[in-house]
Structure 1
Amino acid sequence: SNKNIQDLFAKKKIVEGDENELTRGYGHAKDALKKVLEERRLDPQSFVDYLFDYVIIFRSILPEDLDLNLYFERFNSRGEQLEAHEILKAQMMAKFGEDQEMAQKFARIWDACAEFDKPVIRTFQIRSRPKN
């Protein structure tokens, strides 16, 4: 959840009741990163500087009926880089900042425009207008 992410970045201790897959994954990633930095004798600050200067992380909203394990396995095993339109989408979504509602609306519109087999308007549920 957003609260868990905020707590992690604020370096607050996650209480056992709030622990979930995200917080456990964060702990595993932190431990693995610490190990790699020590093994390769890398300066943690140089790594952080590189990460913030050259790496872009974006969230992709996937269809609910998609097999996430299979999707990740296929995407990861191909070793493919992101396509230009995916990078553009991430950069545009970043402009919404903390406004998750607007980012989700933008993502739905973007995804609707990406479906070339049907008109964009059919992607959205049409509400009937009042008669007056």
Structure 2
Amino acid sequence: MNISNRLLLILFYNSYLVSVLLLLIASTSEAPLPKWGGYLDVGLVLVIVYLSFTIFGKSKSQPRFQTAHRTALNIVPLMLLGMWIYRNSLDFNILLPGLAWRTYLFFHILPYALNLWKPEPTNE
């Protein structure tokens, strides 16, 4: 199955966003999520990891670290500010482990994803 690079990236980021939304809902709700929420999150994790390896494998050229670095410089302080603002309504025992691995994977894939989204022009 050969899907276009942009569709692959859109699938990755949509799966990632739904997974983060589930994490935020789980860390802010008074009652635990239903069982299906956990199964959905595990399924999304498998999809995200598969798509991450696919993105990494398809991006053969040098990754764009400068753009990824600038993105990280903006995302991390905004996440920390949001956690500080909503600290009274967050369950950090749920939020921090989930946010840690999601952020780690996101920042590792970001330079390669940028390569696939906007490939270098060729001189042919």
TM-score class normalised by the smaller sequence: under 0.3
Larger relative helix fraction = 2
- Structure number with greater CO (CA < 8 Å, separation at least 6) is 2
TM-score, structure 1 normalization: 0.24
Which protein is bigger by CA-based radius of gyration? 1
